[in-house]
Chains A and B, each alone.
Chain A
Amino acid sequence: MAIALRTLDDGAWISVDDSRRVSVSDVWTLSRGVFCECEPAYVLLEGFFGTGVDGSVVVADAVGQCLECGTRDSIDRLPVGRIVDGEFKPYSPEAVQSTLESDAGRQA
């Protein structure tokens, strides 16, 4: 079954099936090179501007800032959760993440 994915309220949320599941203003832990050269990088997400699926993984495009080095940039295709049996299971922002390379399954 297709899921409805979109950003909501001017980038405050990733909405999955009309439910606000991923919020801005969390600090995500990213591995080196994904966002900046910090290892790991603690990146505050300030706004989402796109979302899509990659296989079963839900990804988001966001603007964020590294809390250590201060880099402010956009980050594409950050995995924010997975679809398991039609249900969205969010990833924990604290777990170290890298972004997906593949371009498949893009919805925007």
Chain B
Amino acid sequence: MPSDVEQWKDELYGTDIRAEIERFAEEGWDAIPDDEHDAWFERFKWYGLYHQRAGQESYFMMRIGPPGGVLEPGQFREIVEIADDFSRGPAENPVFGNGWIDVTTRQAIQLHWIRLEDVPEIFDRLESVGLSTVQACGDSWRNIVGCPVAGKDKHEHVDADALATELHDTFKRNEAHSNLPRKWKVSVTGCDEGCGQGDINDLAFEPAEKEIDGETVTGYNIRVGGGLSRNEPRFARDIDVFATPEQAVDVAGGISALFRDNGDRENRYNARIKFLMDEWGPEKFRETLQEEFVDFELHTAGEDLRESYSYNAGEADGKHDHVGVHEQPDGNYYVGLNVLVGRIGVDEAYDLADAADEYGSGEVRLTQRQNIVFTDVPEENVDDLRSEDVLEHYSPDPHPFQRGSIACTGTEFCSLSIVETKNRQVRYARWLVDNVELPDGVENFHVHLSGCTASCAQPQIADVSLRGMKTRKDGEPVEALDIGLGGGLGEDPQFAAWIAERVPADEVPGAIANLLENFEEARDSEAQSFREFVAEREDEELADLIEPEETDYDDPFMHNTKRTWYPYAEEDDLDESPAPAQADGTPIPSDD
């Protein structure tokens, strides 16, 4: 039997949802019939609106997806102004205040505490600068990720930005591809660094070369079926197809249609294409694609560039991300700024928008490491830019522990989360900077924290993977983390192995400190990366190197942050929640 979600989608989905959102916004939150909440909130996701968790009823998370993370001049500032005007909650976050934007691991922006009544105006303002929230969540083409410095980088082989934009234009608001069995994540890489992270996407375009009719053509090899969620991580599989830039959109459409018609609509937990790939294997997948979903002869795979992939690859040195000052092919520079856990307060975001305008072209790009990049900065402006106050905090030269930190949304807003994440990761990073010396030769060390197995922070591809759990400490349930080690992408990607389970969250910084000390002692040489060190050892040996312990690190979030309406509120009990609320913030009394 098709799931409830499939029935709701059958009744109404895609662009038809817009008019209904406008109607509810006009009439107010109360206008959504009580017995249709589940159906409408599922549909709203297609327009990038995700109802926040229990205790925060009537407030929404809104996701804005610029393809490849490219925000053209003016777009970043408009988002900041929207956040300033509409993204304010009923309580403050102790680290980030009230009003901020989140840069996500799929090169999108998330805003929180959005009220339905404000959505039409927000949509209008986004559209006025060429942005949209369409398909940012829900069962269809999500934001297309790709090299965040496409067109600006010396490592580029094929123009990933052109393809990402073409795919975006073709498959957003495209009726034939609006309603897929599940989310559909696409990545386009054009460089030899692998910064599109295709391996963990449903569909990946990767740079390649192929001899066709005696000529060397640059285009893309295709991989399918990657993803990290639900304790079932998969790397995308090579389906032995090369697409020329001219064929790429048709191949993508064929694969999307194959998924549409063959993905599991009965069971949402089995619906992602990675499970279809498990069942079919790449040969049958290719055969079906060729026979039923494209009308030209597919080329076999070309010569790829994976050997040089360095992005998130767990190497001890090298650039692997876009932080810092880098020369563009045109002689200008791009400047990558570190954003700790991806969150930028509104006031600083204005300063950043000003700096991007003043010293660069005003373009701001978003990376899959939750950072931002200013492009087109003339050489003579680089020093002035670097001396701006706001770059002290959003630094092109951050400490490796800050540079390496990624955290997902967590219990602050997310329904699935088991633990608090962003504020905790900020505290971890600060404690590590103050207390732990990195071993010589280690310039990069990635710690990724996800609140649950959905893995939005991509924990499995970090040096240290942290995943939300609980444990009992002194008889009480407390927030805890599973610790995994040694994950990374690169030519031969490897997921982290889960080595220590259910470590109380206040013992994790101590565990990382001890682990690094033990690594320094036992490694072969300064040239050996942490990932190589882990790969050489059995899990049991690694477990002995972790040694969790309490330190002077203090964790204010050990209690069940999910049982609060907002973990940082003075009165945080669910019964104290001001939600649901009218557009002006007045609470709406509930019936029970």
Contacts and interface: CB of A to CB of B under 8 A. Distances in A.
Contact of B35 (A4, A20, A26, A65): A4
Interface residues of A, number: 28
A47 B230 CA distance: 9
Contact of A25 (B268, B269, B452, B592): B452
A87 B592 contact: yes
A99 interface: no
Interface in B533-568: 560, 562-563
Given A9-B416, A23-B54, A42-B472, A67 B269 contact: no
Contacts of B173: none
B582 to A, nearest CB: 19
A12 B415 CA distance: 6
B274 interface: no
A67 B562 contact: no
Contacts of B418: 24-25, 44, 46
Nearest to B561: A25
Contacts of B213: none
Contact of A44 (B53, B470, B592): B470
Contacts of B268: 10
Given A15-B38, A18-B34, A67 B477 contact: yes
Contacts of B54: 13, 20, 23
Contacts of A27: 470, 477
Q: Which of A27, A42, A68 has the most CB of B within 10 A?
A: A27
Given A18-B35, A25-B418, A70 B477 contact: no
B4 A6 contact: yes
B155 interface: no
Contacts of B501: 70
A87 B562 CA distance: 24
Nearest to A44: B470
Interface string B432-475: 00000000000000000000111000000000000011111000
B477 A49 contact: no
A46 B453 contact: yes
A19 interface: yes
Report the 5 A-B pairs with minimum CB-CB distance, sorted nearest first: A12-B415, A18-B37, A25-B418, A12-B416, A27-B477
Interface of B: 4, 34-38, 53-54, 230, 268-269, 411, 415-418, 452-454, 468-472, 477, 501-502, 560, 562-563, 592
